[in-house]
Chains A and B, each alone.
Chain A
Amino acid sequence: MAQEVSEKQMKITARGVDVFYGEAQAIKQVDVDIEDHAVTAFIGPSGCGKSTFLRCLNRMNDTIDICRVTGDIRLDGNDIYDPSIDPVQLRAQVGMVFQKPNPFPKSIYDNVAYGPRIHGLTGSKSELDGLVEWALTRAGLWNEVKDRLDKPGTGLSGGQQQRLCIARAIAVQPTVILMDEPCSALDPIATATIEELIDELRTKFSIVIVTHSMQQAARVSQKTAFFHLGDLVEFGDTNDIFTAPQDERTQNYITGRIG
């Protein structure tokens, strides 16, 4: 009974998730709970399956032919792999930001308006304008681009592009945002800006961030999951993981012995 109560507060619950690429198993029996209005970090050496697991949460793995996902993943208690669920609608609720900034070769405005337009979120042009401004403001980009909304998004700097991608994602009004190493292509100053932004976005969204920088995980997250060779080794409060890791592998990783 107590179990059920705690699950109710969770945004996403994953139980016994296995992922295969063809014959090769990339993820083994992973159980994770993603808390609402918190930042959850996935850390671990590269190739351990962080991205693979992240992509299960919005069914992006469906776009890879050879990828097969089993197990139980629930968003607000609903099984997202249920046949009645349309992955396209799921992705409107669970937004995603990628490792390399990937703005569309369109204007800044059209980049942000892309999602609202395909989902028909706004009735009028002025409503859409308002939504674009809101998303760009939340992404901390509005002041930098408000005078050149019609300029191509690809003309922005790397950090601005990544914030544009965040704006593009939140414009669809998701409840969860997945970020796959969002700062790995950025310089330290742009990284700091994005980290501040993530902390702010926590008030409205649940955020899951993959990172291979442990400092970043320590700075931005409340919960941390450590993956190793497809296993979820340890999952708990970020503070605990970094100060008192239970597993030897976690200890070795955060002290720099494996990685």
Chain B
Amino acid sequence: MLGISNLMPIIILGLSFAFFMMARSKATAVSNGIPSSLHSRPNYHGTLSFLWVLLLGIAAYLILLIFGSWFVTGSLLSQIKAADPSLADIQAQLVLSDAKAISEGRTASSVDDLRETIAGNYSGLSNLHNWSMVLIPLTLSVLGGFFQIKRITAEWRARNKSERIIRSFLFVCAAIAVLTTVGIVLSLIFETMNFFSNIGWRVDKYIFGTEWSPLAGVHSGTMDPDRVGAIPLFVGTLLITLIAMIVAVPIGLMAAIYLSDFASARVRAWAKPMLEILAGIPTVVYGFFAAITLAPAIRGWGEAIGLSVASESALAAGIVMGIMIIPFISSLSDDVINAVPQSLRDGSYGLGATKAETIRQVVLPAALPGIVSAVLLGVSRAVGETMIVVMAAGQGANLTVNPLEAVTTVTVQIVMLITGDTEAETAAGPAFTLGFTLFCVTLLLNIVALRIVRKYREAYD
């Protein structure tokens, strides 16, 4: 019986198909062999019945599933409280779970009269609940199905109706996608506000403070506004991003120029997929490459020329992050460079310009907006990148611009806060605030980049 109620979605689906066939054959019958006499083709009649049966059944099932168990629990809890008003909420819930265990034949933590009675009531109620979850959706589906079939006539606008239902369904899906995004952003904002109110709205201390140790005072239950300064994080993030871009922009851009204007078709055919493979390597792999191979190597070179290099350095993380971003920049730039019409190149060659002059003075200026936006998108990836810096950049909130020292970034601190020992609720405040900051920065970068791209597209179309 419990099995049946769990199988309901499948049963309803089967039923829907059955009604699809029935409606279709009724529509065919109504047409008297003249298909054009129907307003909607038989398949649309079938679809409409199918949708009615399916949606009615599933909706009823879901409503009963959610509100039914809520109702069962609620009414049993109030019975327990009525029988023994001295019980606290937690205790009443314990009694209820014992009662459930008894009725399902499992061992309960203790057994007494109250628990036995409630166990009896529980099995009665949950029986009722299960049966209602089977019978009510079935009845509604079948009634709805027959109602639709009865409405089938030659003039019946089944196509318009079913299209409207499908449109609403698609709208609901789109709404879910948008609403979850809005929900996430709202919760970011809410937690950020919460954090700021905990530090007495000293937003300035967060933005301009130079000491980051937000959890230092949490055991006494307060957050010290003097120790939530995010400047070391911002500086670390900027430093690593800068190093990454110094690596990625020239190499990526030159690679794109080579691929689009110099490489033969054969070289292009294997070089492009290679770059795309590079883009598909998980960042965690880059991360341990940075931590295990590059960082010790840099340290060794540094020591060889008498520099002291930390074992985790901004340089190692930045270089590897740059390597990660190269394919991103080169493939976006390659696209925009290719989008510069051949006719412009021809125009330049026709005036006696060399290839280099043409690229520098015609192709690159024309592609510049696209290249700038590729770089901005690259920056936004670098700023949000986590795995590489977690492994290779260090954790201490050091305020330094020396690339040979360990620094930390916004993303690293979020990871540390969330995976640390401090309970999630306390750590969430600063973590969400950092996350919100990151979100704002990358959003801004993406918007600017997309704007530039759009403007640039208009110039050629």
Q: Which A residues are closer than 8 A to B by beta carbons?
A: 58, 60, 63, 65, 88-93, 95-98, 100, 102-106, 114-115, 118-119, 154, 165, 168-169, 172
Contacts of B71 in A (CB 8 A): none
CA distance A63 to B346 in the complex (A): 9
Interface hits, B337-351 → A, CB 8 Å: 341, 343-351
Q: A88 and B353: CB pair below 8 A?
A: yes
Contact present for B349 and A63 (CB under 8 Å): yes
- What residues of chain B lie closer than 8 Å to A98, measured between beta carbons? 343, 346-347, 350
- Please report the C-alpha to C-alpha distance between residue A105 and residue B346 in the assembled complex, in whole angstroms: 14
10 interchain pairs, CB-CB under 8 A: A88-B352, A90-B352, A91-B349, A92-B352, A100-B343, A102-B344, A104-B348, A114-B351, A169-B350, A169-B351
Distance between A36 CB and nearest chain B CB, rounded to angstroms: 20
Closest Cβ of chain B: how far from A64's Cβ, in Å? Answer: 10
Known contacts A65-B264, A154-B459; decide if A95 and B351 are in contact (CB<8 Å): yes
Most buried by A among B265, B353, B354, B459: B353
Report the minimum CB–CB distance from A62 to chain B (whole Å): 9
- B353 — which chain A residues lie within 8 A by C-beta? 88, 114-115, 118
Q: Which residues of B contact A (CB under 8 A)?
A: 264-265, 341, 343-354, 357, 361-362, 365-366, 459
CA distance A90 to B459 in the complex (A): 32
A91/B344 contact (C-beta < 8 A), A105-B366, A114-B361, A118-B361 known: no
Contact A92 B351 (CB under 8 A): yes
Q: How far is the CA of A102 from the CA of B346 in the complex (A)?
A: 9
A72 → chain B closest CB, angstroms: 22
- A63 contacts which chain B residues (CB < 8 A)? 345-346, 349
Q: Are A105 and B350 in contact (CB under 8 A)?
A: no
The minimal Cβ–Cβ distance linking B350 to chain A, given in whole angstroms, is: 4
CA distance A102 to B459 in the complex (A): 13
Selected contact of B459 from candidates A60, A91, A105, A165, CB within 8 Å: A105
- Residues from chain A with a CB closer than 8 A to the CB of B265 are 65
Q: How far is the CA of A60 from the CA of B343 in the complex (A)?
A: 12
Measured between alpha carbons, how far is A119 from B343 in the docked complex, in Å?
Answer: 21
Closest Cβ of chain A to B199, distance in Å, is 51
Q: A105-B365, A106-B365, A114-B361 are in contact. Are A172 and B352 (CB under 8 A)?
A: yes
List chain A residues, Cβ under 8 A from B351.
91-92, 95-96, 114-115, 118, 168-169, 172
- Chain B contacts of A114 at CB under 8 A? 348, 351, 353, 361
Task: Knowing A98-B343, A118-B357, say if A104 contacts B362 (CB, 8 Å).
Answer: yes
A60 and B349 form a contact (CB under 8 A): yes
The CA of A100 and the CA of B152, in the complex, are separated in Å by 60
Q: How far is the CA of A199 from the CA of B283 in the complex (A)?
A: 65
Among B264, B350, B362, B365, which residue has its beta carbon within 8 angstroms of that of A91?
A: B350
Kindly list chain A residues whose C-beta atoms are within 8 Å of the C-beta of B349. Answer: 60, 63, 91
- Measured between beta carbons, the chain A residues less than 8 angstroms from B366 are 104-105
Which residues of chain A are near B365, meaning CB under 8 Å? Answer: 105-106
Q: Which residues of A contact B361 (CB under 8 A)?
A: 114, 118
- Name which residue of chain B comes closest to A165, CB basis: B347
Q: How far is the CA of A4 from the CA of B459 in the complex (A)?
A: 52
A88 to B351, CA, bound (A): 8
Q: How far is the CA of A56 from the CA of B341 in the complex (A)?
A: 22
Decide yes or no: A88 and B362 within 8 Å by CB, A63-B349, A98-B347, A104-B344 being known contacts: no
Q: Which residues from A are CB-within-8-Å of B346? A: 60, 63, 96, 98, 102
Kindly report which residue of chain B lies nearest to residue A100, judged by CB atoms.
Answer: B343
List chain B residues, Cβ under 8 A from A106. Answer: 365
Instruction: For the complex, give the distance between the alpha carbons of A26 and B413 in Å.
Output: 66
Residues of A within 8 A of B345 (CB): 63
| Closest CB in chain B relative to A136 CB, distance in Å | 15
Residue of A nearest to B340 (CB): A105
With both beta carbons as reference points, the residue of chain B lying nearest to A90 in the complex is identified as B352
For B341, list chain A residues within 8 Å (CB).
102
A110 CB → nearest B CB, Å: 9
Cα-based distance from A102 to B343 in the complex (angstroms): 6
Q: With the chains together, A126 CA to B301 CA distance in Å?
A: 55
Say how far B367's CB is from chain A's closest CB, in angstroms. 10
User: In the bound complex, do residue B354 and residue A88 qualify as a contact, i.e. CB atoms below 8 Å apart?
Assistant: yes
Q: Give the Cβ gap from B461 to chain A, nearest Cβ, in Å.
A: 12
B-chain residues with CB within 8 Å of residue A96 when the two chains form the complex? 346, 350-351
A131 to chain B, nearest CB (A): 14
A169 contacts across to B, CB distance below 8 A: 350-351
Q: Closest CB-CB distance, A65 to chain B, in whole Å?
A: 7
- With A and B bound together, what is the CA distance between A79 and B96 in angstroms? 103
Closest to A62 in B: B349
Which residues on the A side are within 8 Å of B459 (C-beta)? 105, 154
**Nearest CB in chain A to that of B362: its residue:** A104
Residue contact A60 to B348, C-beta cutoff 8 Å: no
CA–CA, A93 and B350, complex, Å: 10
Shortest distance in angstroms between A102's beta carbon and chain B's nearest beta carbon? Answer: 4
How far is it, in angstroms, between the C-alpha of A70 and the C-alpha of B359 when the chains are bound?
A: 29
- Whether the pair A102, B347 counts as a contact (CB closer than 8 A) is yes
- Which chain B residue has the least Cβ–Cβ distance from A171? B351
A103, B349: Cα distance in complex, Å: 13
Rounded to whole Å, the gap between the CB of B89 and the closest CB of chain A is 72
CA A112 to CA B168, docked complex, whole Å = 58
Kindly report which residue of chain A lies nearest to residue B349, judged by CB atoms. A63
Shortest B251–chain A CB gap in Å is: 26
Distance in Å: Cβ of B357 to nearest Cβ of chain A: 5
In the bound complex, what is the Cα–Cα distance between A240 and B362 (angstroms)?
44
Q: Which residue of chain B has its CB nearest to the CB of A66?
A: B265
Q: How distant is the Cα of A58 from the Cα of B350 in the complex, in angstroms?
A: 8
Closest chain A residue, CB of each to CB of B369? A105
Question: A97 — which chain B residues lie within 8 A by C-beta?
Answer: 350
Q: What separation, in Å, do the CA atoms of A169 and B348 have in the docked complex? A: 10
A104 near B352 (CB under 8 angstroms)?
no
Interface centre among B350, B353, B354 (most CB of A within 10 A): B350
A115: chain B residues within 8 A (beta carbon):
351-353
Residues from chain B with Cβ under 8 Å of A60 in the complex? 346, 349-350
CB distance from B352 to the nearest CB of A (A): 3
Q: Given A96-B351, A105-B366, 9 other A-B contacts at CB below 8 A?
A: A60-B346, A90-B352, A91-B350, A96-B346, A98-B350, A100-B343, A105-B344, A114-B348, A165-B347
Report yes or no: A119 in contact with B352, Cβ–Cβ below 8 A.
yes
A181, chain B: closest CB distance, angstroms: 13
CA distance A159 to B211 in the complex (A): 65
- How many whole Å from B414's CB to the nearest CB in chain A? 43
